[in-house]
Amino acid sequence: MRQASLFDMGIDGRLEPSALLAAETAPSAFASVLVDIPTRSLSEPFAYAVPAVLSERAQVGCAVLVRFGNRPALGYVIARADSLADLPGADGLDPAKVKPIRDVLTEPLFSSVSAELALWMAREYVASPAECLRLFLPPGKSPRLKRREDGSYELERAAVREASARWVSLTEAGRTYEVPVRASRQRQLIQALAAGPVTTHELNALCTDMSAAIRALEKKGVVKVEERRAWRGVAEGESRLSSARAEVPEQLTEGQRSALEAIERARATHAGDVVLIDGVTGSGKTEVYLSAIERVLACGQSACVLVPEISLTAQTVGRFRSRFGDAVAVFHSRLSAGERLDQWDMVRAGAARVVVGARSALFCPHRDLGLIIIDEEHEQSYKQGSAPRYHAREVAARMARRYGCPLVLGSATPSAEALARCRRGSFNGQRWERVEMRERPGGAVLPKIVVADLRREFAGGSRSMFSKPLYDALMGVVERREKAVLLHNRRGFAPFLMCRECGCVPTCKHCSTALTYHERTHTLECHTCGAVYHVQAYPSPASKCPSCGSPYLAKMGVGTQQVEDALLQILPKDVAVIRMDADSTRGKDGHAKLLEEFDAAECAVLLGTQMIAKGLDFPEVTLVGVVNADYALKMPDFRASERAYDLLEQVAGRAGRGERPGEVIIQTYLPHDPVIRAVASHDRSIFTDHDRQMRAEALYPPYVRLAQIVVSGRDRVLAERHARSLAAALVDLFGREASAPAAVASLSVLEAPVVLGPAPCVIERAKDRFRFHLLVKCPVDYPVSEAISSVLAEVGEQRGLSVVVDIDPYDLM
């Protein structure tokens, strides 16, 4: 806690009456105010006095106007006490020197629990407290101060406004009103209102324009028209997918019952215990979630459900709304600003007690939270890629502990970290329990796996991207009028172009990344910064070789667009080919529309990237094909094999979820890789035993904890020099022995932190900035965040450079 800076006059030199009175009134309380300036250096709140005139309004969660240094600033009240001595962290401050809050700008926007979590996130992830707190604020409603031309200030609010609807209802007089014989429209209106109030939008949709009849009867006192709060985004998730309905099963499987019993035990302890549901694909984990939520709602509490992909939202929300109706809110980035605001308000008002969405749904204003569920907990998308770089699983675990509610993690391929914590039985004071679900409901069986060795296909003279097993299986699907799913985790038409004369590969002029060719738009696109180069334009990387000027640029590799073209050539015209990747789903509701098209087709092939690999449930799918399983196996990342296994196991689980058996064809040049063998034999231990041994020997999570620091700037030399300064300061902090390679190599368990690097990032230049990173390996219980924070403060900032700290990184590129 720090003392607020002094100031003598108001925001624009003229004090409003309330602010003038506040300045002249003795304080009735004191508050901890988090100043809304996003910098790591402001890691603590400041003490301000609460004038008596503002005492009732200045509550925890309010946005307030304060003076910070020599300027006005926006702040948020995160704690309050009657005396300065009772305010956390305010020991030793002189009450007479603590300056007052100038004005209260909003009603409470968050709770004390949210403020506590935001400060924990700031410490844990070496982030700005203001950035962390903004996660809990209403979307589109975070106010900010704006300077006028005359030098004064005003509060600028978001352009998004609350939605409302006009409701029409019968008055008491209207129930006995006799409609004139010729007033047919009025009679029709009264009949429509007989069952209860109806919105004007619904009336117009049902009976065309009724505005004249409404006005006439309103003047006579027969009907009443009133404005009510409306919720945009309620229709989100009302999918027409046949699989977006959740019928209550006649009975649960043994695994489902065991999972529910474990969740009930965790609820009874009120200690924030974690339950990991380790169930094979199609084992009915969603039904476990639904049944557990029913019990939570019956106790008057609320629930939060996280899903990893926006593509899963429509199907998941449809299932939850089929069970819980309008009590379900949906929250993700594809909603408009108004829809996000209204869904947030639904949760805050208690109109929605179940929230389903991506990781941001975790920060909604839940009322009496009784259960948190993270589906497909292994997914990388739960890790935030920009500041603050939190992991939803870790924040949810902290939140569950604070609320005393269970955290349920579900996956057919649990993460190495989750499995390790379950083996230990506890982590950070929380109990971790693993429950297995090994069977599919209704007698469905796991699909048959066929590995197509592409080396043999090539030796036999085949040059097609479809091996004979996959081609024959596709023709079988067509003959039986069934459906298939094809995975190819490379969008575009070709991953890169190459000059046939000199071997040069065109790269982005802003990044050290090869450009991907997109056939549909005749463009080369950088998938790092998003830059687009048109092939016909001149000068263009695609018009000629940038090295030797040759016009002979060959398309190398295969993307989803090229696979789509090949499918259209070999399949009959009546078979729908639906491509689902980041290019085809850019529009709003793009995922839902493509899935509905696939669901409605009699016979179809769904081709896509990793977004089709998880969570989708189509009983008609009997074939899953993997065009090339090797892309992810050899990436320069210790998690590459784990990601590859997760992806293949998840996509294989899309087949055979109905009455008909499923088949999976995996095309690969590496049939003996532990990942391929584990998926093919339905034996996870083949992969996990190998992966655990490799990580233990190389000292990688879950055996150690990682932190990554990335320094970037337009000046390469300056960026590298600053990265070396940070590395040297860390080595000095950890001790000389921590950097000795011989000492590290001799340790079977890491006993002291180790600094690796700095070195250029795999993608050395991105968006015209050179990037250098260094890694810190440390024991699991070592306070690495605190150490890095102290080093950053010691070394200081460098103009023109940015320093990104990523605790528990998932992207080392």
Q: What is each CA distance from 303 to 174, 315, 379, 393, 464, in whole angstroms?
A: 42, 18, 21, 15, 49
Q: CA angle, 77 as apex, 72 and 371 as ends, to 5°?
A: 140
Q: At what angle do helices 684-698 and 674-681 cross, to 10 degrees?
A: 150
pLDDT band with cut points at 50, 70 and 90 for residue 184: confident
The C-alpha atoms of residue 405 and residue 408 are separated, in whole angstroms, by 10
**787 φ, ψ to 5°?**
-65, -45
Residue with tokens 């055979």: 656
pLDDT above 80: residue 737: no
What pLDDT does 5 receive?
38
Query: If pLDDT is split at 50, 70 and 90, which confidence band does 310 have?
Result: low
Q: How many CB atoms lie within 10 A of CB 104?
A: 22
The answer to whether the beta carbons of residues 806 and 776 sit under 8 Å apart is: no
DSSP three-state, residue 614 = coil
Q: What is the mean pLDDT of residues 189-216?
A: 82
Give the span between the Cα atoms of 227 and 421, in whole angstroms. 52
Q: Which of 116-130, 156-170, 225-239, 432-446 has the lowest mean pLDDT?
A: 225-239
Is residue 783 scored above 50 in pLDDT?
Answer: yes
Residue of 294 and 93 predicted with greater confidence: 294
Beta bridge partners of residue 374, listed in sequence order: 306, 409
Model confidence at 591, in pLDDT bands (50, 70, 90)?
confident
Q: And the tokens for 170?
A: 């019968």
How confident is the model at residue 180, as a pLDDT? 86
Q: Is the dihedral of CA 41, 44, 45, 46 positive or negative?
A: negative
Q: Which domains does the chain have, with CATH numbers?
A: 2-156 (3.40.1440.60), 164-229 (1.10.10.10), 254-442 (3.40.50.300), 444-491+562-694 (3.40.50.300), 492-558 (no CATH), 705-807 (3.30.70.600)
> Do residues 23 and 100 make contact, with C-beta atoms less than 8 angstroms apart?
yes
Q: How many C-beta atoms surround the C-beta of residue 386 within 10 A?
A: 7
| Residue 28, phi then psi, degrees to nearest 5 | -100, -15
pLDDT for 604 beyond 80: yes
Residue 415, pLDDT score: 95
Q: What is the pLDDT, as a whole number, of residue 235? A: 57
User: Quick check: 634 pLDDT over 50?
Assistant: yes
How many Å is the Cα radius of gyration of the chain? 30
Task: List CB contacts of 423: < 8 A, sequence separation 6 or more.
Answer: none
Can you tell me the distance from the alpha carbon of 674 to that of 645, in angstroms, rounded to the nearest whole number?
9
Instruction: Extract the tokens encoding 634.
Output: 């050899």
User: Tell me: the pLDDT tens digits for 3-41?
Assistant: 543 333 333 333 344 444 444 456 788 999 999 887 777
Q: Is the pLDDT confidence value at 568 over 70?
A: yes
Q: What is the mean pLDDT of residues 342-357?
A: 90
Q: Does a cis peptide bond (omega within 30 degrees of 0) precede residue 702?
A: yes
Quote the crossing angle between the two packed helices 211-219 and 184-193, to the nearest 10°: 80
pLDDT in tens, 64-95: 989 888 788 899 999 999 888 888 877 778 88
Confidence of residue 271 (pLDDT cuts 50, 70, 90): very high
Q: How far apart are CA 422 and CA 430, in angstroms?
A: 10
List the single range of 40-54, 363-377, 718-732 with lowest mean pLDDT.
40-54
pLDDT, tens digit, 9 for 90 and up, residues 789-799? 999 999 998 89
For residues 471 and 450, give the distance between their C-alpha atoms in angstroms, rounded to a whole number: 13
pLDDT in tens, 643-673: 999 999 999 988 888 788 899 999 999 999 9
**Cα 590 off chain centre by:** 17
What's the rounded Cα separation, in Å, for the pair 320 and 326? 9
Question: Rounded CA gap, 15 and 17, in Å?
Answer: 6
**Comparing C-alpha atoms, which of 773, 774, 761, 765 is closest to residue 715?**
765
Give 248's DSSP letter: P
Please determine, for residue 744, whether its predicted confidence score (pLDDT) is greater than 90: no
Average pLDDT over residues 619-630: 91
- Amino acid identity, position 176: T
Q: Which of 550, 491, 544, 537 is nearest to 516 (CA)?
A: 491
Instruction: List the structure tokens of 490.
Output: 């490379």
pLDDT at 536 over 60: no
> What span, in angstroms and rounded, lies between the C-alpha atoms of 745 and 699?
9
Residue 211 is encoded by which pair of tokens?
Answer: 């505005």
Q: Taking each helix axis as running N to C, give the angle between helix 784-795 and helix 112-124, from 0 to 180 degrees, rounded to the nearest 10.
A: 70
Token digits of residue 314: 């429509």
Q: How far apart are CA 645 and CA 652, in angstroms?
A: 10
**What is the reported pLDDT for 3?**
56
pLDDT digits (tens, 9 = 90+) for 637-647: 889 899 999 99
For 438-478, strand residue ranges (E) read: 448-453
812 and 636 in contact (C-beta within 8 Å)? yes
- 3-state SS of the chain: helix, strand, coil percent to 5? 35, 25, 40
Q: Alpha-carbon torsion 486, 487, 492, 494, what sign? A: negative
The pLDDT of 619-647, averaged and rounded, is: 88
As a whole number of angstroms, the distance between CA 61 and CA 455 comes to: 63
- Give residue 6's pLDDT: 33
Query: Which of 142-156, 257-271, 530-544 comes out lowest in average pLDDT?
Result: 530-544
Q: Please give the C-alpha separations between residue 674 and each of 68, 589, 642, in angstroms, as whole numbers.
A: 59, 38, 11
Q: What is the largest CA-CA distance in the chain?
A: 100
Q: Quick one: pLDDT at residue 245? A: 66
Question: What's phi and psi for 377, nearest 5 deg?
Answer: -60, -20
What strand order describes the sheet that includes 164-170?
198-199, 164-170, 223-229
Question: pTM for this structure?
Answer: 0.86
Residue 273 pLDDT = 97
Which residue, 255, 286, 288, is CA-closest to 439?
255
Angle at 766 between CA 765 and CA 771, to 5 degrees: 50
Over residues 677-719, the pLDDT tens digits come to 999 999 999 999 999 999 999 999 999 999 999 999 999 999 9
Distance of CA 733 to the CA centre of its chain: 35
Confirm if 776 and 738 have CB atoms less than 8 A apart: no
Give the model confidence (pLDDT) of 377-399 as tens digits: 999 999 998 989 999 999 999 99
Residue ranges in 135-278 assigned as alpha helix (H)? 184-193, 200-207, 211-219, 254-269
Residue 37 CB coordination number (10 Å) = 16
Cβ-Cβ contacts under 8 Å for 462 (sequence gap 6 or more): 468
Give the DSSP per-residue string, 57-122: T--TT-EEEEEETTEEEEEEEEEEESSGGGSTT-TT--GGGPPBP-EE-SS--S-HHHHHHHHHHH
Only one residue has tokens 């117009």, namely 204
CA–CA gap between residue 622 and residue 614 (Å, rounded): 16
Strands 663-668 and 621-626: parallel
What's the rounded Cα separation, in Å, for the pair 512 and 508? 6
Q: What is the mean pLDDT of the chain?
A: 85
pLDDT value, residue 157: 65
Read off the pLDDT of each residue in 564-587 and give the average, rounded to a whole number. 89
Contact 287, 256 (CB under 8 A): yes
Task: Give the mean model confidence (pLDDT) for residues 576-585.
Answer: 87
Residue type (1 letter), 434: R
Residue 472 pairs in a beta bridge with none
**Pick from 600, 644, 643: which is nearest to 626 by CA?**
644
Strands 407-411 and 369-375: parallel
Question: CA–CA distance from 122 to each of 43, 400, 494, 706, 785 (Å)?
Answer: 8, 18, 41, 17, 10
Mean pLDDT of 32-59: 88
**pLDDT at residue 605 greater than cutoff 70:** yes
What percentage of the chain has pLDDT greater than the value 70? 90
| pLDDT band of 241, cuts 50, 70, 90 | low
